[in-house]
Amino acid sequence: MANQNQNGQNLAAVLEAPASRLKTVSRPIPSPGSDELVVRNYAIAANPVDWKIQDYGFAINKFPTVLGSDGCGVVTAVGSSVTKFKVGDRVTGFAGVIYNSDINHGAWQTYTILREIATMKIPDSMSYEEGCVFPMAMATSAVALFANLGIPRPTGNVAPQESGFLVWGASSSVGSSAVQLARNLGFKVFATASPAHHQYLRSLGAFEVFDYRDPAVVDKIAASAKSSGTPIKFGFDTVGEGAAAKQSADVLSTSGGAGGKLVLVLEWSESDPQPEGIEILKTMAFRLATDQAELGAWFFNEYLPNALANGSIVPAPRIEVAGKGIEAAQDVLDRLKAGVSGKKLVVTLADA
């Protein structure tokens, strides 16, 4: 194992049991396994699953724990079989506590263990605050596009796709990553969001953006798809609440017809009958580090760093530094639970 002098302490936002409040605790600095690295985080992003696990206690089976999927910082130690990273690299990565229940793999602490296959370098010009927005949101979209929908990985020049691609809730973290990824894969992206975010989403690559609160939204998307000669056979509901899934399915039924495929971030509501002829699938971000680990290694170690370097993927949605220090974690999760519009809440960690 190669490591550098790990000064300071590992302050962690510890969740002692489901439904308790986070406590700031000093923990030992962890050591990496052979295919892992340790990252000293300088920025950490909040995700809805953090407060959901805190409230409901699913996914993680060992407590106390440290939550969090998105940390960004500097590599301080690498395991014996790690070849793609070295001490001092600026990286971000998908922390694994959500699927392995290992407290050392939670992002809400100063030092986090990441697996090599779920880690990516960030450009020198990119801040840690910008870098921490990618792992969870991008993993969720990558599983949706490549694993659920079976879109081939891009090689060389990307040809335009025959189908359009619907992103419902495009101003969300997952939605804004899906817009960029689908655009890079050659799709004409039809998106929904509040009007305040329409111009921004066009700047990320959306072809047309619609207000999801408009009662005629489904008909308007279908009309746009028709007039641009692009049936929409693929959809991604990145919201998972209210009528989002049902309306997304209606868009595919109306504008793409039978054979369409719709990916959800949450479950299809049992109160709605499943749409005829539309296949309903569900993404799970952590699959990029479990049964889709080979896809994950390609995505994190190759595709994303290249896309960041050539500017075809940019940090999105807009970033708000919502707190400083690990002590801010609980406030930031409370704010995220109350709801955000088109922004990613991030905490920064100063030098020890």
Binding of residue 249 to ligand NAP (CB under 6 A)? no
- CA neighbours within 13 Å on the CB side: how many for 35? 7
Instruction: State the minimum distance, in angstroms, from the CB of residue 18 to ligand NAP.
Output: 16
Phi, then psi, of 2 in degrees rounded to 5: -100, 135
Instruction: State the minimum distance, in angstroms, from the CB of residue 116 to ligand NAP.
Output: 21
Geometric angle at alpha carbon 49, from 45 and 53, rounded to 5°: 120
* Chosen residue from 238, 254, 255, 330 binding ligand NAP by CB under 6 A: 238
Instruction: State the minimum distance, in angstroms, from the CB of residue 189 to ligand NAP.
Output: 15
Binding of residue 169 to ligand NAP (CB under 6 A)? yes
Q: Which of 312-322 are b and which e, b meaning 16 or more Cβ less than 10 Å from the residue's Cβ?
A: ebebbbebeeb
**12/143 with CB nearer ligand NAP:** 143
Kindly report the number of other CB atoms within 10 A of residue 62's CB atom: 10
**71/169 with CB nearer ligand NAP:** 169
Binding of residue 283 to ligand NAP (CB under 6 A)? yes
Among the residue ranges 116-124, 188-196, 217-225, 306-314, the one whose residues contact ligand NAP (CB under 6 A): 188-196
Bond into 231 cis (ω within 30)? no
Distant-in-sequence, close-in-space partners of 339: CB < 8 Å, separation ≥ 6: none
The bridge status of strand 111-115 relative to strand 36-45 is antiparallel
Instruction: State the minimum distance, in angstroms, from the CB of residue 45 to ligand NAP.
Output: 9
Binding of residue 121 to ligand NAP (CB under 6 A)? no
Sketch the per residue contact string, 149 through 168, with ligand NAP: x for CB under 6 A, - otherwise.
-------------------x
Which of positions 46-75 make contact with ligand NAP (CB under 6 A)?
47-49
Among the residue ranges 10-18, 33-41, 221-229, 279-287, the one whose residues contact ligand NAP (CB under 6 A): 279-287
Binding of residue 212 to ligand NAP (CB under 6 A)? yes
Indicate the residue type of 152. Answer: P
Sign of the CA dihedral with 102 first, then 108, 111, and 114 last? positive
Q: Which helix (H) or strand (E) holds 42?
A: strand 36-45
Q: How far apart are CA 174 and CA 189, in angstroms?
A: 14
Residues that bind ligand NAP (CB under 6 A): 47-49, 136, 140, 168-169, 171-174, 192-194, 197, 212, 238-242, 244, 265-266, 283-285, 340-342
